């Protein structure tokens, strides 16, 4: 039942921590990535992504020889696919990386192997993966035809870890395991049991795919509700933070927090997979996406209104990351807002982002200056809180008293 050799395809934000954690259980892990630079970095015991403590774990398992990276797949007992699933034009999911992974591992597949899709995927993607594998290896049997007695077991086990807490959540979280047959699920549970302390709950592949999309859509819809409340509250001259705090005193109400929009690579993407599958039916899910995507423009209009009161306004934007206490600027509504303000030439722009050494090229070119919080408080007329980083939450709020403050995260109290 045990696994001696596991291969992880895709060594990004999910694949690399997964590979390292599996390797830390004494299993030989071969990580595969198309990016030669990432492969070299990992083989030197270093990491190419930012995640707390991951460098220590990777260095450890590379040193013991349990983790090794390569660009070419090799035989293993289990293959865990953790590649991106972006969307194409029109918000339709793009499965090209899953297809490429299937084609890459197919030649080395052997009877008895387990293939797991970890990437967040639209419903039906695991079946498609099995189809691509079958096409490439007609000599082997797959669960879509042979069920429990198939040569190759295929399952979907979506990752559910929170960036910043990946190493803890990889081990502690429950896992939804959706096999294409009972035997597929059971074999996948065997693998996850080697490193997961949470419960491994079995379902079918389609339900597992939908479960992951549902989790992130639930959050998106709830945040959209909070963002809508924030706009309504502004109009009605109510403090939305106080409002939500009061409503959440009810034992069955739990409203999330409004913000400048929803960023990251998951919550702003995954709901579209449901909308793409069921465009007529997924009305609330679609509207939530539109509401959250609209929020940065609302914030920009608030800033423009405030800037109109000054001849040559100095605007300090606090935070660029997509959420608190991380350095990830990709898909960030905060960054989007600063970029748009620069393009509109609303005023002199200062940016405070304690988690990055230098600003993105685009902002530098647009004349945005990176400053400390102290300098921002000294120079700016308008302060826009875009991210609730711990440094901003801890700042003495009396320093903001003489400024026009637009607080999209509710840190001002």
- Active site amino acids: 212, 266
**Does position 263 bind ligand SAJ by CB under 6 A?**
yes
Q: How far is the CB of 379 from ligand SAJ (least distance, A)?
A: 26
Among 256, 284, 366, 412, binds ligand SAJ (CB under 6 A): 256
**Does position 259 bind ligand SAJ by CB under 6 A?**
yes
Nearer to ligand SAJ, 33 or 51 (CB): 51
Which residue stretch of 100-108, 136-144, 235-243, 255-263 sits at the interface with ligand SAJ (rule: CB under 6 A)?
255-263
Structural contact between residues 126 and 155, judged by C-beta atoms closer than 8 angstroms: yes
Buried b / exposed e along 12-39 (16+ C-beta atoms within 10 A) = bbbbbbbbbbbbbeebbbbbbbbeeebb
Binders in 130-189 for ligand SAJ, by CB under 6 A: 159-163
**Does position 122 bind ligand SAJ by CB under 6 A?**
no
Nearer to ligand SAJ, 47 or 224 (CB): 224
**Does position 322 bind ligand SAJ by CB under 6 A?**
yes
Helix (H, G, I), strand (E, B) or coil at 114: strand
Structural contact between residues 190 and 22, judged by C-beta atoms closer than 8 angstroms: no
Q: How far is the CB of 257 from ligand SAJ (least distance, A)?
A: 4
Q: How far is the CB of 401 from ligand SAJ (least distance, A)?
A: 26
Which residue stretch of 111-119, 188-196, 213-221, 340-348 sits at the interface with ligand SAJ (rule: CB under 6 A)?
213-221
Binders in 214-233 for ligand SAJ, by CB under 6 A: 215-216, 219, 223
Q: 262 φ, ψ to 5°?
A: -110, 125
Burial class (CB in 10 A: 0-12, 13-18, 19+), 387: buried
How far CA 276 is from CA of 36, 46, 99, 206, 317, in Å, comes to 34, 39, 19, 15, 35
Among 194, 257, 287, 302, binds ligand SAJ (CB under 6 A): 257
Starting at the edge strand found earlier in the chain, the sheet holding 314-318 runs: 369-370, 348-352, 314-318, 382-385, 404-407
Structural contact between residues 89 and 51, judged by C-beta atoms closer than 8 angstroms: no
CA 285, CA 214: separation in Å to the nearest integer? 10
| Residues at the site binding ligand SAJ, with contacts judged by CB under 6 A | 120, 159-163, 215-216, 219, 223, 256-257, 259, 262-264, 266-267, 322-323
């Amino acid at each position: 039942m045990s696994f001696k050799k596991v291969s992880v395809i895709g060594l990004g934000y999910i694949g690399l921590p997964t590979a390292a954690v599996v390797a830390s259980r004494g299993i030989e892990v071969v990580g595969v990535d198309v990016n030669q630079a990432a492969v070299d970095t990992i083989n030197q015991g270093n990491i190419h992504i930012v995640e707390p403590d991951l460098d220590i774990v990777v260095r450890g398992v590379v040193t013991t020889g349990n983790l090794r990276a390569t660009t070419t797949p090799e035989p293993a007992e289990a293959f865990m696919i953790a590649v991106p699933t972006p969307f194409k034009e029109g918000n339709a999911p793009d499965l090209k990386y899953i297809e490429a992974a299937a084609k890459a591992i197919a030649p080395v597949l052997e009877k008895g192997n387990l293939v797991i899709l970890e990437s967040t995927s639209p419903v039906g993607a695991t079946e498609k993966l099995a189809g691509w594998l079958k096409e490439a290896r007609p000599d082997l049997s797959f669960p879509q035809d042979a069920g429990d007695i198939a040569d190759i077991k295929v399952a979907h086990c979506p990752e559910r870890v929170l960036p910043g807490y990946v190493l803890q959540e990889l081990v502690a979280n429950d896992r939804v395991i959706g096999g294409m047959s009972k035997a597929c699920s059971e074999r996948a549970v065997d693998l996850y049991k080697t490193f997961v302390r949470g419960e491994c709950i079995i379902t079918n592949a389609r339900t597992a795919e939908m479960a992951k999309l549902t989790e992130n859509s639930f959050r998106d819809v709830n945040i959209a509700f909070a963002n809508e409340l924030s706009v309504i509250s502004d109009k009605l001259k109510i403090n939305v933070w106080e409002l939500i705090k009061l409503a959440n005193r009810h034992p069955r109400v739990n409203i999330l927090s409004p913000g400048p929009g929803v960023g990251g690579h998951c919550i702003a993407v995954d709901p579209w997979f449901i909308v793409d599958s069921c465009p007529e039916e997924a009305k609330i899910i679609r509207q939530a996406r539109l509401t959250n995507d609209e929020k940065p423009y609302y914030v920009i209009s608030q800033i423009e209104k405030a800037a109109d009161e000054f001849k040559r306004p100095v605007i300090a934007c606090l935070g660029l990351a997509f959420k608190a206490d991380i350095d990830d600027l990709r898909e960030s509504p905060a960054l989007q807002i600063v970029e748009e303000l620069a393009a509109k030439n609303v005023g002199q722009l200062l940016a405070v982002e304690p988690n990055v050494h230098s600003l993105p090229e685009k902002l530098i070119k647009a004349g945005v200056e990176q400053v400390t919080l102290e300098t921002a408080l000294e120079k700016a007329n308008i302060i826009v809180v875009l991210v609730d980083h711990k440094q901003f939450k801890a700042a003495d709020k009396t320093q903001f008293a003489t400024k026009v403050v637009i607080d999209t995260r509710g840190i001002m109290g």
